[in-house]
Amino acid sequence: MIRPYATTLILMFTVYCLGCNSKGPSASDPNQITVGVAFETLQTEYWVAGFDAIKSELASRDIAVLEAIADGDPNRQLQQVKNFITRRVNGIILVPKDAKSCIPAIRAANAANIPIVLFNRPASETDAKSVAVQANNFEISKETVSFLIEQARKSGTKTKAMIVLGDLGDINAVGRRDGFEAAVQGNEEFIEVVARVPSEWNQEKAQAGVVNALQANPDIGLIFTSSDFLLPSIISALKAANKYHKFNEPGHVIMGGFDGDATAYQMLRDGYLDATGVQDVYFEAKASVQAVLDMRDGKDVEPLIQDPGFVIHRDNMEEKAASTWGANVQPAN
Amino acid sequence: MVSRFVHSGYLTLLLCGVYCLAVGTWVPGFFTLENAHNVLLALLPLLVVATGQTVVLMTAGIDLSVTSIIAITSVIGAQLITSDGGPLAENWLATPIAAIAMLCLGVGLGLANGICVAVLKMPAFIATLTSMMFLSGLAIWWTQSEQIYNLPRSFLSIGNQLGSVLLITILLTGSVHFLINRTLFGMRLRAVGHNPLAARTSGVPVSKTIVWAYVLSGFTAALASVLITGQLETGSPVQWENNLLDIVGATVIGGTSLYGGRGSVIWTASGVLLLSLIDSSLNLLSLSHFTIMMIKGAVILLAALLDTLRYRVNEGNH
């Protein structure tokens, strides 16, 4: 039984090899620049906005795009990057699943001499060469939480606080947590952190954690979430505890977030959210595309390009709306 | 003749050839040595784990825990040898010890699954589904969701060098092919899958055969884990968690029956090849992941329908 199979397989392999062109596909227009954009996920508004901003930036420069979404699977993402290389792209913009499993993909791009830029998530320390564009998570979070603490100080009493953590395998989540802790440090007479709720970037886990924390500490008066996409889970838990009120209503829980998505912007407008740290997605998209082109032209590019971001709150809302990406998209729900 | 052709599993191999010719001419980059290398490197770990799944399906069982066995063995193996504090980091035998530990763990977990199914008489679906949940949770808890990096080059080269992956896969699939087609164990697998009661009456050690099938599945999952961890240079508690459909799907597309009693490693190889060709070509076309999932799902559904038709025809013939 194995013989006919082997014969057929050998025939197929021969046909495949005869069809093979070791130089790869020839471009229809050799002057056309093509960039492969591979995202780990499009699960949150931020990633969708980033994906659209990059595509729009590339289109504005007449650069063709190849797209790929890995749905959270680093193995699939590695194959997608290899496919980009097979398609002979001129550059790759990658949102990796995490800082470590992307390194083989960076190595593959390095071996093919294709510039690779990591959007929003840098790789761990490695000999593989890439450029990362990333928000300054620490500073933006610190500034946001400092604003929240200022609000809490106005009450004149010590406020109990909660942070909803992200996936601590993600360097962004670590930066945001550290920014929160740094803002609290030195303000212990006004703030007491009573709950650090892990979410692993999962809305259900976040909701369960916030519900539990509110049961254990019903007098929590300040909540900071490591990402705005977790806000719906927090709202749900606050509503269940009858603690979801506007800033000018009694019982208001001071709330802040990170990202600047559409939900957060709407909550700011409605008076439920006090502040959120905004990642400037337009800056990050532009910087990523520029870095790919500069690397392609052989220019020196800094390994980490930082998006300084900014904090949007009630007092500067009108002024900052134009550069807040969440103000320009519809909320997901 | 046509009936024999459809029943033989040749159909999938023919489909591979037709698919290659059909898409190869217009999918950019499909007919390149680079793509052939990529497809091969990606499909071999899938073939390794699908080989174990073939043996389990032949007993009319199913092993849903393979992806979680891949994950737990990946993190345990990586933790032993990572230069970020692994106990074997400085040991020159780190790579073989870690690989053997991973394989032993895979065998142990397969044995536990086999005992649940064959001795405790739990339905295979529930026994392996709960194993999957438990082991996935355990892997995440054990690592606190951390990825494990900085593995020794000797370990990585097992998984990221085409030569070594090919050699390991050929050795494994060749051995299991021999086991299924040339040994008493293979005959017992078919007998148990066709009719366990009749098999028991004929003196076949049904429970023992089923336990060995799950042990083999655990072993192949752990072996695949060695290759995947090397390819990704990372031990991950969620390693391959989204690939269960590909593993079972490739086996069924090849022609191995979900009803048991019928299967072949070569058929599975055809199924793995077809699924990988579809995946690669659709990726090269830059289609979205969701479109690729839908197309692959449709192909697997068709294969399952074909399997049901074959089963009914066979039932009618008896």
B169-207 per-position pLDDT tens digit: 999 999 999 999 999 999 999 999 999 999 999 999 999
Other Cβ atoms closer than 10 A to B37: 13
Please answer yes or no on whether B24 and A16 come within 8 Å at the CB atom: yes
The residue of A86, A95, A126 whose CB has the most chain B CBs within 10 angstroms, and thus the best one to mutate to test that interface, is A86
Distances (CA, A) of A322 to A2, A93, A282, A329: 67, 25, 11, 11
CATH of domain A137-279+312-328: 3.40.50.2300
Q: Note which residues in 195-214 of chain B have CB less than 8 A from chain A.
A: none
Q: How far is A12 from chain B (nearest CA, A)?
A: 6
Domain boundaries, chain A: 31-134+281-308, 137-279+312-328
Name A196's bridge partners. A163
Other Cβ atoms closer than 10 A to B172: 21
Find the closest chain B residue to A80 by CA distance.
Answer: B283
Tell me, what's the pLDDT at A264?
94
Quickly state the pLDDT bin for B9 (edges 50, 70, 90): low
Residue B199 · residue B188 · CB < 8 Å: yes
Q: What is the mean pLDDT of residues B11-23?
A: 85
Please answer yes or no on whether B289 and A66 come within 8 Å at the CB atom: no
Please answer yes or no on whether B38 and A86 come within 8 Å at the CB atom: yes
Q: How far is A109 from chain B (nearest CA, A)?
A: 13
A14–B contact, CB cutoff 8 A: no
Give me the amino acid identity at A199.
S
Tell me, what's the pLDDT at B135?
96
Q: How far is A37 from chain B (nearest CA, A)?
A: 10
Question: How many angstroms separate the CA atoms of A37 and A53, rounded?
Answer: 11
Q: Residue holding tokens 């190889």?
A: B269
The percent of chain A in helix, strand and coil, each rounded to the nearest 5, is 45, 20, 35
Looking at domain B12-310, which of 1.25.40, 1.20.1070, 1.10.3470, 2.60.60 is its CATH number? 1.10.3470
Q: What is the mean pLDDT of residues B64-85?
A: 95
Name A116's bridge partners. A92
Nearest Cα residue to B143 out of B241, B237, B239, B238: B237
Q: How far is B232 from chain A (nearest CA, A)?
A: 6
Q: Which of A211-215, B153-157, B302-306 has the lowest mean pLDDT?
A: B302-306
Tell me, what's the pLDDT at A7?
63
Tell me, what's the pLDDT at A37?
96
Tokens of B103: 């394989």
Question: How many angstroms separate the CA atoms of B13 and A4, rounded?
Answer: 11
Question: How many angstroms separate the CA atoms of B248 and A43, rounded?
Answer: 26
Q: Residue holding tokens 């977990």?
A: B109
Tell me, what's the pLDDT at A330?
60
Quickly state the pLDDT bin for B4 (edges 50, 70, 90): low
Please answer yes or no on whether A100 and B145 come within 8 Å at the CB atom: no
Tell me, what's the pLDDT at A312?
96
DSSP-derived secondary structure for B252-303: HHHT--TTSS---HHHHHHHHHHHHHHHHHHHHTT--HHHHHHHHHHHHHHH
B13–A contact, CB cutoff 8 A: yes
In tens digits, what is the pLDDT along chain A, a chain of 333 residues? Answer: 556 666 666 666 665 655 555 445 544 567 889 999 999 988 888 899 999 999 999 999 999 999 999 888 888 899 999 999 998 999 999 999 888 889 999 999 999 999 999 999 899 888 899 999 999 999 999 999 999 999 999 888 899 999 999 987 678 898 999 999 999 999 999 999 999 999 988 899 999 999 999 999 999 999 999 999 999 999 999 999 999 999 989 999 999 999 999 999 999 999 999 999 999 999 999 999 999 999 999 999 999 999 999 999 988 998 999 888 888 766 555
First to last CA, chain A: 57
Q: What is the mean pLDDT of residues B131-152?
A: 90
Other Cβ atoms closer than 10 A to B310: 17
Domains A31-134+281-308 and A137-279+312-328 share a fold: yes
Tell me, what's the pLDDT at B163?
94
The residue of B32, B153, B267 whose CB has the most chain A CBs within 10 angstroms, and thus the best one to mutate to test that interface, is B32
Question: How many angstroms separate the CA atoms of A232 and B244, rounded?
Answer: 31
Quickly state the pLDDT bin for B225 (edges 50, 70, 90): very high
Tell me, what's the pLDDT at B289?
73
B161–A contact, CB cutoff 8 A: no
What proportion of chain B, given as a percentage, has pLDDT over 90?
63
Question: How many angstroms separate the CA atoms of B3 and A322, rounded?
Answer: 67
Looking at domain A31-134+281-308, which of 3.40.50.720, 3.40.50.2300, 3.40.120.10, 3.40.50.300 is its CATH number? 3.40.50.2300
B229-249 per-position pLDDT tens digit: 999 999 998 889 889 999 999
Q: Which residues of A touch B146 (CB under 8 A)?
A: 168-169
**Integer Rg of chain A from CA:** 23
A88-137 per-position pLDDT tens digit: 999 999 999 888 889 999 999 999 999 999 999 899 888 899 999 999 99
Q: Which residues of B touch A87 (CB under 8 A)?
A: 28-29, 284
Tell me, what's the pLDDT at A125?
85
Q: Which residues of A touch B38 (CB under 8 A)?
A: 79, 82-83, 86
Tokens of B160: 């990221």
Q: How far is A13 from chain B (nearest CA, A)?
A: 9
User: A152-156 long-range CB contacts below 8 Å, 24 or more apart?
Assistant: A152/A190, A152/A191, A152/A221, A152/A222, A152/A254, A153/A187, A153/A190, A155/A221
Residue B218 · residue B107 · CB < 8 Å: yes
A192–B contact, CB cutoff 8 A: no
B48-68 per-position pLDDT tens digit: 999 999 999 999 999 999 999
The residue of B35, B277, B294 whose CB has the most chain A CBs within 10 angstroms, and thus the best one to mutate to test that interface, is B35
Tell me, what's the pLDDT at B145?
75
Question: How many angstroms separate the CA atoms of A21 and A11, rounded?
Answer: 18
Name A134's bridge partners. A306
- The alpha carbon of residue A240 and the mean position of all alpha carbons in its chain are separated, in whole angstroms, by 29
Tell me, what's the pLDDT at B141?
87
Domain boundaries, chain B: 12-310
Average pLDDT, chain B: 90
A189-199 per-position pLDDT tens digit: 999 999 999 99
pTM for the complete prediction?
Answer: 0.81
